[in-house]
Structure 1
Amino acid sequence: MRKRTATAWGVAILCFVVLMLVTPAIPQSQEYHNFADQREFLGIPNFLNVISNFPFLVVGVVGLVLCYYGNYFKLSLPGELFGWTFFFAGVAAVGFGSSYYHLEPNDARLVWDRLPMTVAFTSIIAIFIIERVDARKGTFSIIPLTLAGVVSILYWRFFDDLRPYAVIQFVPCIAIPLMAILLPPMYTHSTYWLWAAGFYILAKIEEAADVPIYNVTFHIMSGHTLKHLCAALVPVFLTLMLAKREVAEERVSLLQMWKVSWTKVKLNNANVETISCEYSGLTLYASSCKLNPMR
């Protein structure tokens, strides 16, 4: 197991080094700060982009309270409480950091927007390792992964290169759905992970379509505002999952469950076709008897 773990880390580091060597630097475009909706209301500039971060604060605080209130989430594995604390603290901090950034968008303030998001991303990866791979290794990975996220932000800020940050941000988008589908969970309600991943991807699409959405909605709401609201649904779904889940009686991956369900559907369809054929045969025989009453 140790050999496989070392190999996996070695491959990951090698891939990252190769990526840094063969790809050009990605500087922060200053056009990024030019959001579609820049309206001021109640003396607050970029009003909707600022207040749409409030759900992050609410969900983050609620999650932190439930983590420590009578073990409401039933966090039994070593390191789970630590990992989810990092996650919900990061989510709550997004409410402050992103609002601070949108009051006056620039690179210096963007650091405080991205930093808490990175803490949330990296803690989620550690939580997955705790739940589905090895609790001890996942617990020890929380701090290194968080530090890797912080370093990616500092690297961007000092060298104006977004490549490490892009890896930290987008790897979870691929890794979490794959791990949720392929690795058998310890708890029930694993599909909530897929809902959370789906809404995060939708949020990124809305972010990219900031101006078109603003125009389509007749300047009522921009894509970036919708991005905040959709992204806030990610911790909402994960909070619901924590509140509902129980320890699974049998550890079966979602892929295996889907295969079993598909097999049952195919068998049910086959049974329906067989019954239909038999019924048709009986009908034809009965009709034949009526036509030949002397037989």
Structure 2
Amino acid sequence: MISKRSIYIWGISILCFVVLMIVTPTYPQDEDYHNFADQRTFLGIPNMLNVVSNFPFLIVGLIVLVLCHHGNYFRLSLQGELWGWTCFFVGVAAVGIGSSYYHLKPNDATLVWDRLPMTVAFTSIVAIFIIERVDEKKGTISIIPLMMVGIISILYWRFFDDLRPYGVVQFVPLIAIPAMAILMPPMYTHSTYWLWAAGFYLLAKVEEQEDKVIYGWTHHIVSGHTLKHLCAAMVPVFLALMLAKREIEPQRQSLLTTWRISYRRVKESRLNGERQEYNYTEVRTTES
């Protein structure tokens, strides 16, 4: 049974999205997007570095999927967690295939198969966060609806040439997940890995924007888009390391609270050190 609070949250979210669609102009796909800096062909493969730099997604995704389901290596105790992480790493592995296919012949039609698995990864990671930080049942129930939202955003772009819904699906997690990681008490330890993952994804977006600039800086050795793939592939790597290392968090305090406590201890330690140094100087002066 869905609670009234959940209905209110979904209602407010939908209302905000509708308002956003009304007040903002249509954002069509820029055809120049497909004009990547590095278009070199090696071994008969067009745009080779942009193609092969996607393979880490496939490798990491498949390896972690095996670890999730073979002997429960990551000790996933909640069914919703298992489903959520499975969807995420299936999306990651599919990005390796879809993005490679797109870069063989970049155009809007092939770009669908690049963006579709990315939306699966984006939306499933939000559901995982809800499971861990808000409520297990609500997070589990949200997995399918959130993925459907991502798929609809891709269909909307293809039919109406409007990237606004896809932009929301892509960038809301980039803002929401670090904020939730910092402010909300975690179920598990090693929450800082979420911030490392978000940092690498943000770096990947910067490299994507500066594709041609980076290609020039490196004297046409590697482009920003190739580096973007490699940095983005570090996101599932850090999340897999987090899954391997984490344990149940006994104190359940947010990173912000932890940082405040650490800062207070460092400050108190410095004050105590200054006092001891002052007392020592005072004693030495008296003895003299």
Q: TM-score range, shorter-chain basis?
A: over 0.9
**2: CA distance, partners of 1:6 / 1:276:** 60
Pairing 1:1-295 to 2, within 5 Å after superposition = 2-287=3-288
Query: For structure 2, which runs of at least 5 residues remain unmatched after alignment?
Result: none
TM-score normalised by structure 2 residue count: 0.98
How many residues end up aligned between the 2 structures? 287
| RMSD of Structure 2 on Structure 1 (CA) | 0.9
Give the Å deviation of 1:118.
Answer: 0.5
- CA displacement 1:251-286 (0-9 Å, x = unmatched): 111011001001101100110110011011011011
Q: Point out the more displaced range, 97-106 or 8-17.
A: 8-17
Give the Å deviation of 1:150.
Answer: 0.2
Q: SS of the counterpart of 2:233?
A: helix
Q: Please tell me the residue identity of whatever aligns with 2:241.
A: L
Contact 1:25 1:161 in 2 (8 A): yes
**2: CA distance, partners of 1:141 / 1:50:** 33
Contact 1:186 1:247 in 2 (8 A): yes
**1: CA distance, partners of 2:96 / 2:23:** 36
**2: CA distance, partners of 1:85 / 1:192:** 19
**2: CA distance, partners of 1:3 / 1:141:** 15
- CA displacement 1:35-86 (0-9 Å, x = unmatched): 0000000000000000000000000001100100111111112311000000
Q: Please tell me the residue identity of whatever aligns with 1:247.
A: I
- CA displacement 1:86-120 (0-9 Å, x = unmatched): 00000000000000000000000000000000000
Contact 1:56 1:95 in 2 (8 A): yes
Give the Å deviation of 1:8.
Answer: 2.0
Contact 1:182 1:253 in 2 (8 A): yes
Q: Please tell me the residue identity of whatever aligns with 1:68.
A: H
Query: For structure 1, which runs of at least 5 residues remain unmatched after alignment?
Result: 288-295
Which stretches of structure 1, 4 residues or more, deviate above 6 A after TM superposition?
none
Give the Å deviation of 1:10.
Answer: 1.8
**2: CA distance, partners of 1:266 / 1:13:** 45
Contact 1:77 1:130 in 2 (8 A): no
**1: CA distance, partners of 2:6 / 2:270:** 44
**1: CA distance, partners of 2:43 / 2:185:** 50
Contact 1:57 1:91 in 2 (8 A): yes
Give the Å deviation of 1:193.
Answer: 0.2
Give the Å deviation of 1:224.
Answer: 0.1
**2: CA distance, partners of 1:268 / 1:195:** 28
- CA displacement 1:99-153 (0-9 Å, x = unmatched): 0000000000000000000000000000000011000000000000000000000
Q: SS of the counterpart of 1:79?
A: helix
**2: CA distance, partners of 1:87 / 1:63:** 10
**1: CA distance, partners of 2:55 / 2:7:** 41
Contact 1:123 1:145 in 2 (8 A): yes
Q: Please tell me the residue identity of whatever aligns with 2:244.
A: A
Give the Å deviation of 1:12.
Answer: 1.2
TM-score normalised by structure 1 residue count: 0.96
Q: SS of the counterpart of 2:115?
A: helix
The structure that has the greater radius of gyration is 1
Q: Please tell me the residue identity of whatever aligns with 1:85.
A: T
Match of 1:293 in 2: none
- CA displacement 1:178-222 (0-9 Å, x = unmatched): 000011011000000000000000000000000000000000000
What is the percent sequence identity of the aligned residues?
70
Give the Å deviation of 1:5.
Answer: 2.5
Q: Point out the more displaced range, 48-57 or 245-254.
A: 245-254
